Structure 1
């Protein structure tokens, strides 16, 4: 019987959980972990710490944990958490810790204690002798979790720190010097980019990467994967063509311009072109007299027609701030490529920001690929199991809940139009609110959240709004969303990393709220990914709490119009309410969601095809840069190239260390400048590469053909330029005047994120759609 049970269990796992790891090995170790508890409870704090130090010696830098080591690590972690936090780790948390310690992405449901499981795993890696970075989705969680878990780490003789934007270079260096470091993915990535531009070894803040434990792994590894983190240096002011912005602002959809159904492209009609040409002084946009204004018109039209205030961006404190589409929050430091950024600033009539020269960039996927060992945790990993395997070679371990999930997931309610849907949502909120149950409403964007809040206020249904305008208060707002009678309206992904406890943070009315039915979650539309739907549902029903979730949808929602606009005939709606009960409507919405998921996957895959070559080139260049930075290579090369001039400088300085540093700065300046030029060249190549497809050439092959020869010129050219700089430089008491010799780095640098290739060509979009449709048909 036991054998049949195990076989059945494995079959269910194969059928229901694609890509999931077999947990039998870890489950078999749980009794051994429990057996150690009485023994460890008798130890004093000092003795417990001493036992952790002994485990560190036993591990002795082992590459993998054996079963005995897993048991000891988890038992010590459970006891440390019990003493430090008053929380005894559940068996499922111990399973999660084992999954992380063996290099998997563990799926644990909301409220199951991922933060503690991640901390115990990070401590385990530290005891094994590895530096562990716990990668979070935002700075708030990095600091909160590091401070929260510090007493546990202290008992296990493990040091912990965190990085955040306000930290100085010395504070960052100190944080990365700890055995465990918490940091937002963007902050860790920006530190990598800053380190790649230093000219003195002492200025480096990060040691070599070893282990990354990624919190909210699906968001970081999938949603953020194709977003490049950028280091830029100031060039000049980024002025848009104000005259063009004024003209385009007057254009009207359908008369002067048209857009495609998925909202990615806009173009002037004949009438629109005529209006623009006349307004700009009678130029010919497509001839010699206006070709220099055409690019400005196109980018201004993109800003005017395709980017919507309070959906794609906010205007706050006189600045344009982008909204992260995956989270519904302000995307800190994120911006569009400079031409489009300036066009939106001109559209909103706010001050233009500086224009920057890109010094270096790295995608989140490439950032995580630097770590020899990667593990992760999230509530929704199975849905992206194939992507985790394809892009990261990671497998998913599905951890069962500590208490069975009793949340009621109600069938979607579908309507013919968004207005009919909105009326039904208002009625649903009113009906549930009358019972006293707390309600969380997940909306698609800032504009929708505020529109719904206004409508609720008019019918005396007060609510708290959580969106990109007040994301700084996110944790406090979401923590109270479980109070009796609370109505919280939020943009998507409310409170990642923050539990919604029934009865609020104090849980005073928990039992009463539970008896009423728990938290009721309402989705105002289906998201472009079923995974995001699951994340919203998962805000309810934590740790076996009662709860329910329902999604409302319309056949005219953006998801359907953009991905599956051809509605089958014969789908009838109720004449009074507009509600549709025909199963074909649900099939259409599910189909639209699958198409959207396919398009996103193809964009991710396509982005990685191009960036993979760039990453290989960057790795090769960094090996050379590190040799220049850490050795006397630069001085030796300059001495060979310019022996007489080098001898003069050497005689003047009479300081070998200073001479080596001077040589290093000259060589690194040219090397970094040439890499920056190479990135700009590759951007130009990629933006025009789709034209090669029209000539029946493979765009990726052509990209490689253009990129590889140019890259191989960088190191020889940097040496030649450095030699010329030394040859032409004026010798001073300090050796040479670097600034006078043209060795001037940007006096201002900043970091930001940028959407990858927002100007996708019609051809690329068509290919993506066709491929996605083919996949959908096959499935």
Structure 2
């Protein structure tokens, strides 16, 4: 047995879980199909209810398969049940496009529910949460499992009802925002979320890796100054090379001596680097960053009079995301737009912290194996690579590499035109919005009529994708077409070879390449893919600028040298390695903040759910406590103590977050000057500051409690100054503390990976 297991592990895909136990369960489920088919609907529901608290996976698979066929008209394939069992075992199931991840996920959620677990099935947006919950509802009903869904517009009552169901569908951001709001309630009954149990994550690699360190923020209204448009105008007048320089990776911008003199003159002859002008220096630097490094239709678009960030991994508008307040306001000033509401951060947490709270985690995606190490390191998750129901016959052609971007652009148009002439549909993947629009213009000049799909018209995604597989269709798209889409072939298209996918360059992550490639060849359909890249692509110039190749290019610019092909793959591996190290560094930073928050929350819960506040005041403000009890009664005093302590705990934490943000902003300058590790320096000051928080909260609480007065048997809380923000709102921060602030570390990482990947 041991020898056979070792052999099986050798022949299966590296980094993936053993599927044999799951396949054996599915086989046993198949033996029960005849008996289960004879059950009435009521008997099937009763049989599912009888599984509660038991662990009969074969029976569950047999019942689940029959329920899906009756309720949805879809009978799960064996491989879908294998995916379901992988999810029930706490794995990330890698399933190809069109292989039924939604149904496999719903069956797994029902399986967890029948075990007595409450499941949060997290998607990437409101639309998918509602669609999947309503689509799968008949299946859940037949299995006797309750289901709800949550969207951005859901009321607190609707959220509470959805979380009370056995299975709740929701965008990951909304689950996080609900947690943030629950962490600041002043009455235990105001919470909407129950204790975490099971997290099932759709598009798991995107959520758990690409967006793991995105902070979700709860902010409160304050009177913060907006960006000065004069700084944006000044930054616009400065000239690259003369007044400022950017680094090779285009991640940092710095004033030259001439630029500093020009800024000083424009600001009235000040000394820009004098301590009293630090605010002006910071404002100019932020405005210059917005002007020189952030580009419209690449990093963001302007829609409906507002700046909308674009998700790098999805190509869609990053709903609710914004840059940290100073940079967001600077970009708005650059675009001559009104400043969006700013405010004080009351609390925050990262997606990785959110998912880490769940005792049981699982997920599904089409591209997980490439990030197996990260999923194992950060979440203790293993990958189960589920084979397709029908073998993939897609023709994945070798890359075509060109010496220049111009040569590549010409070749892309020629490839599209050649396929179009035969009637074959073509899906073309581009890096960003601007690139998609440039390619569309070139195609129109060549007499072709493409349909463009990018962040500017993402509301039309479903209609565009529905036509992308039709005869002679040309669809030019950003990464928006790379996930969550299922392109069906039109009449006669299979005879033409199926959908042709053309990549106009390798992405910074091989997973994005694989997602784009996976649009063709769904469920055994014919199809093909090819990537055209150039040695002038951003990927190469940024991550492998010093690499060279031998041999000339052809007349059409095509490079045949194998060493040149290696350069592109090398650059991509460097990019992936740098992203992983930035993730690790950012996680170390956020992990400290999370630990500090957990300690303070433990005390807060003791106040909210118990009598810790009252006991603290009775001990540390005994005379005032006795006086108020005499005048207003013990219950009123206990409630007043609770509100005072909760307010001061929340106030201390908000002040601490502001301190940490300021510390983080300045720590890289200190580390650069002394050659020190910024994370070590950050911890050196942040750790003792965090340890002082409980004492500070208690001292402030006692002081505020002693200012309370009672009249007419009631306690006047206003006397203690417990004024909370008049309004709160939530958003996500597009932030990367050590990837953007410590450029020295970033450059060191690039150099390290350039050497290590040879």
What is aligned with 1:367?
354
Give the C-alpha shift of residue 314 in structure 1: 0.9
The residue number in structure 1 matching 2:508 is: 528
Deviations 1:646-687 (A, max 9, x none): 34444554472x543332221111101111111222223333
Q: 1:106-185 to 2 correspondence within 5 Å? A: 106-185=93-172
String of CA shifts for 1:476-520, please: whole Å, max 9, x gaps. Answer: 3223321222221111141622311112xxxxx2xx111111111
CA deviation map 1:410-442 (0-9, x unaligned) = 111112222221121111111111222221111
Query: How big is the shift at 1:31?
Result: 1.8
Shift of 1:748: 1.3
Q: SS at 1:236's partner residue? A: coil
* Kept in 1: contact 2:215–2:351 (CA 8 A): yes
Q: Secondary structure of 1:197's partner?
A: coil
- CA-CA distance at 1:581 after TM superposition: 1.8
Supply the distance in 2 between the matched residues of 1:733 and 1:772 (Cα, whole angstroms): 72
Paired residue for 1:710, among 689, 701, 707?
689
Alpha-carbon separation, structure 2, partners of 1:92 and 1:312:
39
* CA distances 1:154-197 after superposition (whole Å, capped 9, x unpaired): 01000001110010010000110100011111111111111111
Evaluate the alpha carbon distance shift between residue 103 and residue 348 of structure 1 in structure 2; reply closer, same or farther with a 3 A threshold: same
1:35 maps to which residue?
31
1:765 — aligned with what? 746
Partner of 2:301: 314
- The equivalent residue for 2:663 is 685
Q: Secondary structure at the match of 2:364?
A: strand
1:355 aligns with 2:342: yes
Distance in 2 (CA, whole Å) between partners of 1:764 and 1:687 is 15
1:62 is matched with which residue? none
SS of the equivalent of 1:616 reads helix
8 Å contact kept, 2:501–2:520: yes
Counterpart of 1:541 (choices 521, 526, 546) is: 521
Task: Report the CA distance between 1:294 and its aligned residue.
Answer: 1.1
3-state SS of the aligned residue for 2:511?
helix
Tell me by how many angstroms 1:474 deviates.
2.0
1:110 aligns to what SS in structure 2? coil
Matches within 5 A, 1:692-707: 692=671, 695=674, 697-707=676-686
* Partner in structure 2 of residue 73 of structure 1: 60
Q: 1:393 to 1:249 in 2, by over 3 A?
A: same
Which residue of 2 is the match for residue 486 of structure 1?
473
Aligned equivalent of 1:298:
285
Cα pair 1:650 1:735 within 8 Å, conserved: no
Counterpart in the other structure of 1:26: 22
- Provide the secondary structure at the position in 2 that maps to 1:38: helix
Q: Which moved more, 1:224-233 or 1:628-637?
A: 628-637
Structure 2 residue matching 1:689: 3-state secondary structure: helix
**Contact 1:478-1:495 within 8 A present in 2 as well:** no
Contact persistence 2:539–2:571 (CA under 8 A): yes
Residue aligning to 1:265: 252
Question: 1:604: how far off?
Answer: 0.5
Corresponding residue SS for 1:56: coil
Gaps of 5+ in 2: none
Match of 1:506 in 2: none
User: Which runs of no fewer than 5 residues in structure 1 stay unpaired?
Assistant: 60-64, 504-508
Measure, in 1, the Cα distance between the counterparts of 2:243 and 2:113. Answer: 62
| Correspondences of 1:465-614 after superposition (within 5 Å) | 465-494=452-481, 496-503=483-490, 509=491, 512-575=492-555, 577-614=556-593
Cα 1:653–1:477 change in 2 (3 A) is: farther
Q: Which residue of 1 aligns with 2:725?
A: 746
In the superposition, relative to structure 1, how do residues 284 and 319 fare at CA in structure 2: closer, same or farther (>3 Å)?
A: same
Shift of 1:289: 7.0
Q: Is the 8 A contact 1:418 1:554 kept in 2?
A: yes
Matches within 5 A, 1:409-428: 409-428=396-415
TM-score (norm 2): 0.96
Please, which moves more after superposition, 683-692 or 113-122?
Answer: 683-692
Q: RMSD of the alignment, in Å?
A: 2.0
The question of whether the paired residues in 1 share the 8 Å contact of 2:429 and 2:501 is answered with yes
Equivalent residue in structure 1 for 2:643, among 652, 659, 665? 665
For residues 443 and 187 of structure 1, the distance between their equivalents in structure 2, rounded to whole angstroms, comes to: 30
Q: How far apart, in 1, do the equivalents of 2:443 and 2:582 lie?
A: 38
3-state SS, counterpart of residue 717 of structure 2:
coil
In 2, Cα distance between equivalents of 1:4 and 1:197: 55
The answer (yes or no) to whether the contact 2:286–2:327 under 8 Å persists in 1 is yes
Residue in structure 1 matched with residue 616 of structure 2 by the alignment: 637
Secondary structure of 1:570's partner? coil
Deviations 1:16-39 (A, max 9, x none): x33211111112222211011111
In the other structure, the counterpart of 1:10 is 9
Q: Does 1:278 align with 2:265?
A: yes
Cα contact 2:469–2:489 (8 A) shared by 1: yes
SS where residue 330 of structure 1 aligns?
coil
Instruction: Indicate the larger mover: 109-118 or 732-741.
Output: 732-741
How far off is 1:756 after superposition?
2.3
CA deviations on 1:733-774 (whole Å, 9 max, x unpaired) are: 573433442211111111111122264223222232233234
Compared with structure 1, are the counterparts of its residues 431 and 661 closer, same or farther at alpha carbon in structure 2 (3 Å cutoff)?
A: farther
CA distance in 2: counterparts of 1:454 and 1:148, whole angstroms:
39
Displacement of 1:4 in angstroms is 9.7
The secondary structure found in structure 2 opposite 1:553 is strand
Paired with 1:660 and 1:317, the residues of 2 have a C-alpha distance of 49
Assess if the C-alpha contact under 8 Å between 1:493 and 1:535 holds in 2.
no
1:326-365 correspondence to structure 2 within 5 Å:
326-365=313-352
| Aligned pair partner of 2:84 in 82, 90, 97 | 97
1:408 to 1:35, Cα distance in 2 relative to 1, 3 A:
same
Query: CA separation in 2, counterparts of 1:275 and 1:684?
Result: 28
* Mapped partners of 2:652, 2:252: distance in 1: 33
The superposition leaves residues 38-75 of structure 1 with CA deviations (integer Å, 9 ceiling, x where unpaired) of 11111110000000011115x2xxxxx4xxx1111111
Contact 1:238 1:352 in 2 (8 A): no
**What TM-score, normalized by structure 1, do the two folds share?**
0.94
Distance change >3 Å, CA 451–CA 693, structure 1 → 2: closer
